[in-house]
Structure 1
Amino acid sequence: MHQLRHSGGGFAGAVAAEWTKMWSVRSPYVCLAVGALATAVFTFYYGSIARINDKPVQPVGNAPVTSLLLVQFAVVVLVMVTVTSEYATSSVRASLLWVPLRHRVQLAKSLVCAAVAFITGILFGVLGIAVAWAPFRGHATFEMSKALSQVLAMGVYCALIAVLTVGVAFALRASAGALAVLFTLVSALPSVLTGLGGDVLLAVNDYLPQTAGTYVMQGADGAPYPRVAAMAILLSWAVAAHLTGRLVLRRRDV
């Protein structure tokens, strides 16, 4: 009995289950394909515009970094659906029955989603650099250390946005509500604050996840704080969302 109870379960079993569930449906493949296509299109456009407008020479990695600010929603949707689809079909009941420790379900899902998002961010970065190099035509530089730093930072950014997304999805449960909150927090609010301008609003914008993430990916050039501080801000958002989702998950019946 003791052997049976401890074989094949625990946190490792929860992670394996989440991994299997993620790749057993079509949505991750669609999101990744759309994200890759969008990355290729946006980075090619970025390089072309930089050349046509004769912009200053810049690291070629700036193209996929800028592209990711739009393409990140392919990752957000991929991750969000892993949570909200279970609530929509009530299969979350089975998940919580198989893994009675509720925080373990969320933690396993966050770990799997973060790992997939990290690899996705790296692949999008490499793809973006490869595609953008040709249309830049001399308006970009390629330094291996800088490119590697930006690509790895893209992976880290995507991973932390994935953790944030899992937390929000567990807190709200519905796809529409979760996507609305995530879009507002990650994209719409920075655009509004930047558009309105003013010292106070711009200062608030500096502490939003996308802004801090951009500083991380671009190397914090011109940022009001060091790169390590930008990483801490981004990490704080991810942890706050995770803890909020965990609190709601523990208090609700489902």
Structure 2
Amino acid sequence: MTAVTTRHGGGGFPGAVAAEWTKTWTVRSTWWSLFGAAALMGLGALQFSIFATNANTNDDPADDRGMVAVGSVAVQAVDVVQFAIIGLAMLLITAEYSGGAIRTTLQQVPRRGVMLLSKTVVAAVVGGAAGLLLAALGSAVAAPLLGRWADLDAAGWIGDVLAAGCYLALISVVALGAGTVLRSAAGTLIVIFLVVVLLPALLQASDIAAVERIAHYLPGTAGAAFMRGESEEYPPLAGLVVVAAWAAAAVAAGYATLRRRDA
């Protein structure tokens, strides 16, 4: 990574992005995370497709799902797949803190805002591109398993794939921001799990309307509303805005932490 130097900034922001991009693809954790995400997507699409087919063919008409959009199967699997992508994104910063490489990074890119923004761009691009490919993979697994129950509408499929890509890009940025604040892979993963999965479930189980409403504005719930359009609280695009707000807040918190603390 000779594109970045302390004196000249290595081409400024483009050079910092290029350096982060190179680092991302030259560590094994990236490839293992993507492999894990692909495996989870394949297994998730397999499971959801079998469930849908069994529901349509059993003796209970109340279970019938009818035609199932192949892209919606992939979107369902994102609930689990996202944690492999979250792990990849947070390691862009937490791995450097755990190994001490953050000092070298800041020597090469002394402007901390530029450093964090370059990592944010890489996390969003990798997460978003992975989301598109994973959704396509899940759809390819689902289509033959659903058989005659498969809805292959092209416009709907493209919408589902793009929704998965957008959500995984934003949740990757949330993970990067949280990792910048916490500096610990384990701590970051625990906090993300609590905010994305556990806290919404607890709030929604409270049977208190005001408390349940809070759950709609957490990133996991808002992301599901965006991808599936299931929320009665707001339209799907509002869910995307909520997740984007969480991503912006996470990066802002990360930047504030970087400015306040030593590497």
Deviation (angstroms), 1:202: 2.5
Q: Tell me which residue corresponds to 2:238.
A: 229
- The one-letter code matched in structure 2 to 1:149 is G
In structure 1, distance between residues paired with 2:217 and 2:243: 8
- The one-letter code matched in structure 1 to 2:253 is T
TM-score by length of 2: 0.90
Deviations 1:34-91 (A, max 9, x none): 1101101110110101111223223221111110011100001111111111001111
Q: Tell me which residue corresponds to 1:20.
A: 22
Deviation (angstroms), 1:189: 1.5
Q: Tell me which residue corresponds to 2:85.
A: 75
Deviation (angstroms), 1:215: 1.5
1:61-140, aligned counterparts within 5 Å? 61-140=71-150
1:240 counterpart = 2:249? yes
Moved over 3 A (4+): 4-8, 194-198
What is the aligned residue count?
Answer: 250
Distance 1:209 1:222, change over 3 A: closer
Deviations 1:4-26 (A, max 9, x none): 96584200110011011111110
In structure 2, distance between residues paired with 1:248 and 1:7: 22
Return 5+ residue gaps in structure 2 as ranges: 57-63
Q: Tell me which residue corresponds to 2:52.
A: 50
Compare relative contact order (CA 8 Å, sep 6+) and give the higher one, 1 or 2: 1
In structure 2, distance between residues paired with 1:113 and 1:144: 28
1:195-234, aligned counterparts within 5 Å? 195-218=205-228, 220-234=229-243
Deviation (angstroms), 1:197: 4.1
- The one-letter code matched in structure 1 to 2:180 is F
SS of corresponding position for 1:137: helix
Q: Tell me which residue corresponds to 1:38.
A: 40
Distance 1:145 1:132, change over 3 A: same
Distance 1:8 1:105, change over 3 A: closer
In structure 2, distance between residues paired with 1:78 and 1:245: 17
1:185 counterpart = 2:187? no
In structure 2, distance between residues paired with 1:222 and 1:213: 10
Aligned sequence identity (%): 37
In structure 2, distance between residues paired with 1:97 and 1:8: 11
The answer (yes or no) to whether the contact 2:204–2:211 under 8 Å persists in 1 is yes
Deviation (angstroms), 1:133: 1.4
- The one-letter code matched in structure 1 to 2:14 is A
In structure 2, distance between residues paired with 1:7 and 1:190: 43
Farther off after superposition, 192-201 or 96-105: 192-201
Distance 1:132 1:195, change over 3 A: farther
